[in-house]
Structure 1
Amino acid sequence: MPTTRPDTHAIAGMITRLNDPKYPRWAARLRATGGCRQPIHMRGRVLHVDRATGRLLHRYTTATEPEGVLHLPCKTRRASRCPACAEVYRADTYQLIRAGLVGGKGVPTTVTTHPCLFITLTAPSFGVVHTRREKNGKTLPCHARRDAQTCPHGRVMSCTARHGADESCLGEPLCPDCYEYTGSVLFNAVSPKLWQRFTDALRRRVAKTAGLTLRELRERLTISFAKVAEYQKRGVVHFHAVIRLDGPDGPGAPPPAWATVEMLTHAVQHAVRAVTVTVPSAGDEPARILRWGRQLDVREITMDGELSDQAVAGYIAKYATKAAECVGTLDRRINPLDDLTAFNLRDHPRRLIAECQRLGALDALADLRLAHWSHMLGFRGHFSTRSRHYSITIGSIRDERRDFARTEETSTGRLPLFDEDTILVIANWEYAGKGYSLGDALLAAALTGTALHASPTNGEGDAR
């Protein structure tokens, strides 16, 4: 696991913490955050007061905590920022997806009988890139061409190397000057709109197949879905989605007999080909019509088949915690005034970011906010989304976990029995910072086994 080399100041800070009389409490709070790498610091107090008598039943204040603050987990979904919190998010997403496939957590188990597909919508090609190909367990040459042409920039469009799975060149174009960087970042920017139009076209196609209007379809059938976006190493997103057919009341009602897997498959194939998004002309850039790529994977989800509920839920949950890190970009926003050469970026992600910033300066493309989302290579949608009737929500899972923790605290006597009718809770909290000092980060890494943060910050954004 890569770590930064601790300096003398960090080691001195770690020793100071270890000798602090409040170290056991500090370590306990560290474990309570689940090993969060960048905890939120909160300062305040909570009072539990009997409504009838005004008697103080319980008091908690951060004044008795180490440094006078309470550490709370950051709850980020990005594994690159906090592996511990991202793992919790991944597990929650797994439960959300799986509940929509097999039931549980309020979703009836009869949902397993509903037609259900796992689909992958890809991006079109924007140029030939280095790739790893396998056949029967054997690695094949990247792009071996006997009659390979030479591009206008003098590069032979062929690669005979058998790339390893971790080679940094994967996803990078054979000729960066031929690669369609403009189309790549514009596709990322409009892909949420493409997905919206795909779902609309899917409903229209299902209604037409059944001989119904859209209003009549809503009275007989519900099309539920959950999707996640994944970055390919070339820097464009594609979507993995679960699509399920329910009755008009959601997963608790069976779909009509005519709503079959075959009908849904044909509707998906039609909808993917039918939708486009037009990007207007801007400056010297002509108008573009963007659509999904030609590769489309549509497979039925079966409880006892090759594509099981556990496999699908695990696959989607894995990508819910990732972003564009595989491309080599940054996991924070980039100021348009920043000098990209100052960052440790490979040429391909640097060109993608630069293209976002160039296009973001054009007034006709202002609505796409490309410069604002340049660190995401133009993509500004939600990575993980679900329709209303698919299953539970991430929020409900977190509420369940919070209620469990509260029940445990009241059963052990650490909190009074909570009854809103008899107990008044008075709370006062304020934000007091984020992250660890260098010494604390070094100690936290040793206690939790996570990588050391090189630049911990406090609430003002200054290194401590």
Structure 2
Amino acid sequence: MAGTAAIVGTDPLTLADLLRVANAPGFDRWQEQVRRTGGCSDPIHLEGMTTTRDAKSGQVLYSYSTQGEPGGRLRVACGNRRASRCPSCAWTYAGDTFHLIRAGLTGDVAKGTPVTVRTHPKVFATLTAPSFGPVHNRPTKGVCRCGTDHPEDSPLLGTALNPGTYDYAGAVLWNNHAGDLWRRFTIYLRREVAARAGLSQKEAAEVCRVSFGKVAEFQKRGAVHFHAIVRLDGPDGPETAPPGWASVALLTDAIQAAANRATVPLPPSGDYP
């Protein structure tokens, strides 16, 4: 057994467990569940039953129980977006996001977005956290401020050059309130668009809709930042044309102004005013 395990690249205990599962009566169904989860590395195990009845007659239309599943459990994908937690689900999410963003840029009738959105003003914006202090990095030209040419997999990348002066509290607060900062940014953006069009917010909403598509990701320094596609549509969304005053220049200026205005007031805490 030890020799066979070495050949297939595993240990005897794991190999024995694999053989046990492969020879179990419910192996084919178990394999189907694994396939349906897309190879999720940490699937959710569900137990229980469900019954659907006709509202009037009470007749059972559908009934299902996990008792007939291998191990009495139904496995479903975890859906985690982080590759460090589940590479398979993260890959699926990234692919879905790509197609949604692409549809918002070029149109996709199959996804309910007309191809006319190609002519709508749109801007790709990156909203990044402020500096909390210098960190180890790999600049395009030259070397890191510490004087070292760090390799791509260096564990120092993103860590503080001077931990004693780095604003760790600010970094934590930024990540904790990043979602609210984005929400406030979208509120201010609609106001800024309306102001540049010489309209009230209500008047602007009657002729123009500001549409968003965004993803959030962590930088090497551990700070969340947003990549967003912002598009100006007509009042009923991508199916309607934006007003004549809507332009890329106007949208760009409004985005910059809204980003500068978006803040989250917090009460003082301890040594942090």
Fold-level similarity (TM above 0.5): yes
Q: SS of 1:171's equivalent?
A: coil
Moved more, 64-73 or 264-273: 64-73
Q: Which of 165, 178, 195 in structure 1 is aligned with 2:182?
A: 195
Residue-by-residue CA offset, 1:56-96 (whole Å, 9 max, x unaligned)? 88875544432233322222222222222222222222222
Q: What's the offset of the Cα at 1:30?
A: 2.0
User: Are residues 1:216 and 2:203 paired?
Assistant: yes
Instruction: State the match for 2:144 in structure 1.
Output: 142
The unaligned stretches of length 5 or more in structure 2 are 1-8
User: Are residues 1:273 and 2:265 paired?
Assistant: no
Q: Which of 80, 83, 88 in structure 2 is aligned with 1:84?
A: 88
**C-alpha RMSD of matched pairs (Å):** 2.7
Residue-by-residue CA offset, 1:209-247 (whole Å, 9 max, x unaligned)? 111111111111111111121211112111111100011
Find the aligned partners of 2:224 and 2:44 in 1 and give their Cα distance: 31
Q: Which of 99, 122, 131 in structure 1 is aligned with 2:128?
A: 122
Q: Which amino acid aligns with 1:183?
A: G
Q: SS of 2:177's equivalent?
A: helix
TM-score in terms of structure 1 length: 0.52
Q: Which of 88, 95, 101 in structure 2 is aligned with 1:97?
A: 101
Q: Which of 111, 116, 120 in structure 1 is aligned with 2:117?
A: 111
Cα distance, 1:283–1:64 mapped onto 2, change above 3 Å: closer
Q: Which amino acid aligns with 2:85?
A: R
Q: What's the offset of the Cα at 1:41?
A: 2.5
Find the aligned partners of 2:105 and 2:89 in 1 and give their Cα distance: 25
Cα distance, 1:58–1:129 mapped onto 2, change above 3 Å: closer
Find the aligned partners of 1:55 and 1:122 in 2 and give their Cα distance: 57
Cα distance, 1:114–1:12 mapped onto 2, change above 3 Å: same
Q: Which of 16, 21, 27 in structure 2 is aligned with 1:17?
A: 21
Find the aligned partners of 1:33 and 1:208 in 2 and give their Cα distance: 48
Q: Which of 22, 44, 52 in structure 2 is aligned with 1:40?
A: 44
Find the aligned partners of 2:120 and 2:102 in 1 and give their Cα distance: 14
Q: Which amino acid aligns with 2:74?
A: L
Find the aligned partners of 1:99 and 1:31 in 2 and give their Cα distance: 28
Instruction: State the match for 1:314 in structure 2.
Output: none
Find the aligned partners of 1:62 and 1:271 in 2 and give their Cα distance: 51
Q: What's the offset of the Cα at 1:280?
A: 2.2
Instruction: State the match for 1:173 in structure 2.
Output: 160
User: Are residues 1:183 and 2:170 paired?
Assistant: yes
Q: What's the offset of the Cα at 1:198?
A: 2.1
Cα distance, 1:15–1:251 mapped onto 2, change above 3 Å: same
Find the aligned partners of 2:169 and 2:235 in 1 and give their Cα distance: 42
Instruction: State the match for 1:204 in structure 2.
Output: 191
Aligned runs of 1:61-460 on 2, under 5 Å? 61-104=65-108, 105-135=111-141, 140-143=142-145, 159-286=146-273
Q: Which amino acid aligns with 1:174?
A: L
TM-score in terms of structure 2 length: 0.85
Cα distance, 1:115–1:9 mapped onto 2, change above 3 Å: same
The unaligned stretches of length 5 or more in structure 1 are 144-158, 287-464
Q: SS of 2:217's equivalent?
A: strand
Q: Which amino acid aligns with 1:142?
A: C
Find the aligned partners of 1:208 and 1:60 in 2 and give their Cα distance: 56
Cα distance, 1:242–1:12 mapped onto 2, change above 3 Å: same
Q: SS of 1:212's equivalent?
A: coil
Q: What's the offset of the Cα at 1:165?
A: 1.7
Find the aligned partners of 2:95 and 2:257 in 1 and give their Cα distance: 34
Q: Which amino acid aligns with 1:27?
A: Q
